[in-house]
Structure 1
């Protein structure tokens, strides 16, 4: 039987989602806990791979287990969370149809990037602290975001040494707004290249402070040059993953 985990985590203490040989990851932490509780080796498959220091408000992962009752008891979810560290929370566990895949069945993923417009000691590891005297202008940021949606090939915003079969992505939404002295960038796409969101944010901020022009930004999109400035990981959140409505097994 296939189960889905809905997960939330603070990424500052982890070297990303994916299991690594020498460093602690979110995936390994959850697998170890789940295997201990179920007394069986459990491997989970995530809906994506967040990098070192990146957070998730909503992440999904799937795994196989033969007994439905144990996992769906309310006290199991409580027990599961009790064994996990405080920076990881299992929000929900539910059954899905056999062929549903946490990664490949997903329709889109939404990310949010946060920039504190000034010194804020309470958001040190959950936002990019903007301490420069250069003011970030919202209008150029949204002009750039609007242009971004018109393109499909995002090679310029991919980390070097990444070999994808295709660099084509469909960006459905991309917009900036300010609330309580925090600058937010929200983006939704069907898929992302490695380091793509942080590279987009870093480049759009250059536009927002007047370091580059709209014409420069368009040229960057066309250039497919991966020497792009990247925003710090700590400001990035995976906020939502969308799936078809018929994935659940009731």
Structure 2
């Protein structure tokens, strides 16, 4: 039997979602928690990957078991897990839907603050930059859905079978003072550090060190950037994962407040 787990996590203390030998991951913590509860080795499959220190206000993984458990898995897992990982829902599924391959859209938010604020340090990325050309950033961002090959915005393109991604929406928002920015992007899939690389390049457009034409040339794969410097990780959130059979709202109240503040706070550029 297959279960989908709807979760959220603060990624600051983790080396990303996926297990690897370079540090503790969210997947490792969850598998060890499940193994402790089920008293058997487990392997879970996530809806994607997140980089080290990146957050997920919504994430799904699936788990297969021989027969349903007869206890409150939601309660037991949240009792065992550390405070920075939460289980929101445990959903029994019909058939064998796949947490990764059946997702049709993933949306990310990237938050920037341009003034020092100790209460935003782990929830948003600090860039002490003044007088960004927001109009140029908006114009460059509008180019993203027009192209599909994101090879030039991928740190490790050789690791992917294809570098084709279909971006359906991308935009910038700002608070009324213009000192907090929010980048939103939705696509069917993403490449290694692709969003953080894009944000880094768009900030260069805003600072005037990269022209809109140069930015578009990367999308057109005419030439690769000389350097790929991803934006800081802590401002990035996997904020929505959508399936044809499952479309749940964000459950974390803090993340929901951050991600879904009213239009009176976040204004589209």
Would you say same fold, with TM above 0.5? yes
DSSP-derived class of the 2:32 partner: helix
Matched-pair contact (CA < 8 Å) for 1:12–1:125:
yes
Residues 82-161 of structure 1: pairs in structure 2 closer than 5 A: 82-132=79-129, 134-160=130-156
Matched, 1:15 2:15: yes
Question: Which residue does the alignment assign to 1:198?
Answer: 196
The alpha carbon displacement at 1:246 in A equals: 6.9
DSSP-derived class of the 2:201 partner: helix
The alpha carbon displacement at 1:67 in A equals: 3.0
RMSD, matched Cα: 1.7
Matched-pair contact (CA < 8 Å) for 1:174–1:188:
yes
Distance in structure 2 (CA, Å) of the matches to 1:129 and 1:22: 26
Matched, 1:178 2:177: no
Matched-pair contact (CA < 8 Å) for 1:138–1:177:
no
Matched, 1:164 2:163: no
Gaps (5+ residues) in structure 2?
248-269
The alpha carbon displacement at 1:224 in A equals: 4.7
Deviations 1:204-235 (A, max 9, x none): 11111222221121122233515323101111
The alpha carbon displacement at 1:35 in A equals: 1.1
DSSP-derived class of the 2:53 partner: coil
Q: CA 1:76–1:149 in 2, change beyond 3 Å: closer, same or farther?
A: same
Distance in structure 2 (CA, Å) of the matches to 1:207 and 1:84: 42
Q: CA 1:246–1:198 in 2, change beyond 3 Å: closer, same or farther?
A: closer
Gaps (5+ residues) in structure 1?
none
Distance in structure 2 (CA, Å) of the matches to 1:111 and 1:54: 11
The alpha carbon displacement at 1:120 in A equals: 1.0
TM-score of the two chains, using structure 2 as the length reference: 0.85
Question: Which residue does the alignment assign to 2:205?
Answer: 207
Deviations 1:134-168 (A, max 9, x none): 32232222211111110011111001363322111
TM-score of the two chains, using structure 1 as the length reference: 0.92
Distance in structure 2 (CA, Å) of the matches to 1:246 and 1:213: 41
Distance in structure 1 (CA, Å) of the matches to 2:21 and 2:212: 43
Distance in structure 2 (CA, Å) of the matches to 1:65 and 1:45: 13
